[in-house]
Each structure stands twice: as structure tokens, then as C-alpha cells.
Amino acid sequence: MKEAGFPLGVLLLFVVAYITDYSIILLIKGGNLSSTNTYQELVRKTYGRAGYIILSTLQFLYPFIAMISYNIITGDTLTKVFQRIPGVGLDNVLTDRHFIILLTTIIFTLPISLYQDIAKLGKISLISLILTIVILIIVMVRTVTFSPQVPKSENAWTFAKSNAVQAIGVMSFAFICNHNSFLIYGSLEEPTLKNWSQVTHVSVSLAVVISVVFATCGYMTFTGYTEGDIFENYCRDDNLATFGRFCYGVTVILTFPLECFVTREVVANVFFHGNLSTVFHVVVTVVIIAVATGVSLVYDCLGIVLELNGVLSATPLVFIIPSACYLRLSKERWNHSDNLISSLILALGVLVMAVGFVMTVLHPQECSHGKEMFYCSPSNVSVHNSTLPP
């Protein structure tokens, strides 16, 4: 919302949600037309070895960068949770983001990621979903109770802003599940297009409702001061926000293994013909997680990570490749609705990817990671208000 302008941002959320819903179903239609059951095999059969390599690279990069962003969030949120424990000062190891990232990786994300069957993560995903609803309620409550304390930024309610394309990248990052669609489709008790369409419609609808409420409440509270990680905006002594940070950290930790599954599957398909022995399963998992953890220890600005991953990885995976594959496989007339919509989504994807990358490089988000926001001190708010133009 901050990047796009609030009114336009809400409209774009619904547009990206619709495109995501459409492309996920289109992907499975393409799989059925080509008699393939993985994203990579679909692209290989449609566009040959070159397409397969491009898709594999994107399909690895998206979840891999997502894993990095999840670690950044874990370090940001849980350190502030531990700071609220009596006796834990700023010099305590529990307030060191590097230590927290390493600790959660070794104790939680690595062991869970070592599972070989993605269906075993079903209960973990349910816990993550419940915690997401809890976080949403906390953000809604704080919109009512905390919003009056936060001054509104200049031009907060402008319809559209120049960084709208970058916002589409972030939204694509939020909605994308194309990279693991075939995995989840195969885990259905009855993997039919009808059942898949129902699951997709319900999932995307729930996601867009949650996203719109999150975005509206978050932006109404912080307007132009909104950070890439919204919990960076709440004050450190806010106990309700601290509980929200804890839930957020747990949610991200539980989501991490889903992305690791996809990166590992890509490596297995490209280098091991789709089959990993038990030893290589462990080795590949450990290497992937170790590299992702290493990057997240060095780099800690979430907003830019989300933007770049959105425009470079998520956009082609959601907009471009499913549409291109379907158009190549479809035997319908050129003016059939599926062909027309796919062509439109393909063109939009190319535009968003090109313009979004240029805009992200030229106008990167500012990052005030780890700083207490000025409005958390009443005296600072008074000074800030006095410097604003009338």
C-alpha cells in the first residue's frame, strides 16, 4: 500500500489474487494436456531443455530467497520478543538476531525440512494458518488503539504512487504458490481438476481477504512510515505487539520447510534425475539451508528482498510461464477466453518484470531495521509534528 498508493494498492491486490488463482489452475490444465505431473516436466515438454533450465532456476530462486526473507523475519521478531523477558537486556545473546536465526534453524527449521513427504506438513500448515488469524486480530486491535498515536505522513491517501509496479512484485511474492502446486495437487486424495479448482478458489479467496485486511489495518495505522516488516513499526514495550511478533516468528518458522521442499525437489530433478538417496537427501537439505541462513545473517533489509524476489522470480512463475505453456499446448481457437486471458496475463507479466526490476534498482526501499520508531516517544512526535508543513 505504501509503494502503490492505498486505493490503487487495494485494487492491485484483487487483480494479483485473480491472476494467481487463474494461473494455478492453468498450470494443472497444462499438466493434464501434456501428461506431466511436475512444473519442470511441463516446461521441458513445452519449451525444451532451455525452458526447463530457466524454469528450474526461477523455481529454485523464489523459494530460496523466500527462505532468506523468513530468516530475516525470525531474527527481527523473536529478538524483540526476548527483550520483553525480565532480566534479558540488550547485551543478552537472546537479543542477537544472528544467534536467534542460527538457533531456530538448528532446532526447528532444519529438522522439519528433513521430512521426505510434504503431506506430513499438513498439521504444521494448519497451526501456521491459525496463528496468521491471531496476528490479523492483533493488527486490527492495534489499528483502533494505537493509530491515534502515530502521525499521518504527507500525501498518505494519494490514489496512486510511482512505485506501483514494485508493489505488484511484493504482492506476487505474497500470493505465489505455483512453484509447489504440482506437489500439493498430487497430495490430494482425489487429484482432479474440479477438486483442484475448489481448493484453489478457497485458498486464494481466504488469502486475499486476509491480505486486504492486513494491508488496510497496517497502512491506516502507519501510512508512509510503514516498514517492509510491519512488526518493525510497533514499539518495543507494546506487549500485545510482542505476542504478535511471537506468533509471526512461529508462523514463519513453520512455513520455511515448505519452501525448502521445493528447492530440494528442483535440485533432485536437475542433478539427480528426481531421486535422492537418504544420504543425499540430508546433504542437499543441509547445504540449501546453510547457504540461505548464511545470506540472512549478512543481509537484513526485508523490503528490498521481497521486491527483488517478487519481480525477478514470482512474476515469471505466476504471470509468464503458466500462460506461455498453456498457449503453446492449447488446441482451442485463438479467440477462446482461456487463450485471450493467458495472452493478457503474459504481456502484463513481462511489463511488470522489466519495469519492476528497473524501479527497484533505481528507487530501493529505505530500511530502518532494528530502530525504535520516532512516534514511540511522545516528545519525538511533538517535534516531528512541528516540522511538518501546514
CATH number at residue 58: 1.20.1740.10
Could you tell me which residues come within 8 angstroms of residue 306 by beta carbon, excluding any fewer than 6 positions away? Answer: 69, 169, 170, 173, 228
In a domain, 210, yes or no: yes
In a domain, 358, yes or no: yes
Residue 383 pLDDT: 46
In a domain, 367, yes or no: yes
Domain range for 242 is 6-385
Instruction: Count Cα neighbours of 50 within 13 Å in the Cβ-side half-sphere.
Output: 1
- The dihedral built from the CA positions of residue 177, 179, 180 and 181, taken in this order, carries a sign that is positive
Read off the pLDDT band of 100 (50, 70, 90). very high
The per-residue pLDDT for range 109-164, each reduced to its tens digit, is 999 888 877 677 777 878 888 998 999 999 999 999 999 989 988 888 899 888 88
In a domain, 1, yes or no: no
The per-residue pLDDT for range 341-374, each reduced to its tens digit, is 999 999 988 988 888 888 877 776 666 556 788 8
- Number of domains into which the chain is organized: 1
- Whole-angstrom distance, CA of residue 179 vs CA of residue 118: 14
Indicate the residue type of 126: L
In a domain, 390, yes or no: no
CB 107 within 8 A of CB 173: no
Short-list 371, 381, 310, CA closest to 151 = 381
Mean pLDDT of the chain: 86
Q: 351 vs 62, 257, 323, 344, CA distance in Å?
A: 19, 32, 14, 11
- What mean pLDDT do residues 15-20 have? 92
- What mean pLDDT do residues 101-107 have? 93
In a domain, 103, yes or no: yes
Residue 373 pLDDT: 83
The per-residue pLDDT for range 153-195, each reduced to its tens digit, is 888 889 988 888 888 888 887 888 887 788 888 888 888 989 9
The per-residue pLDDT for range 28-86, each reduced to its tens digit, is 998 888 888 888 888 999 999 899 899 889 889 888 988 998 998 898 889 888 888 88
CB 289 within 8 A of CB 281: no
Residue 389 pLDDT: 52
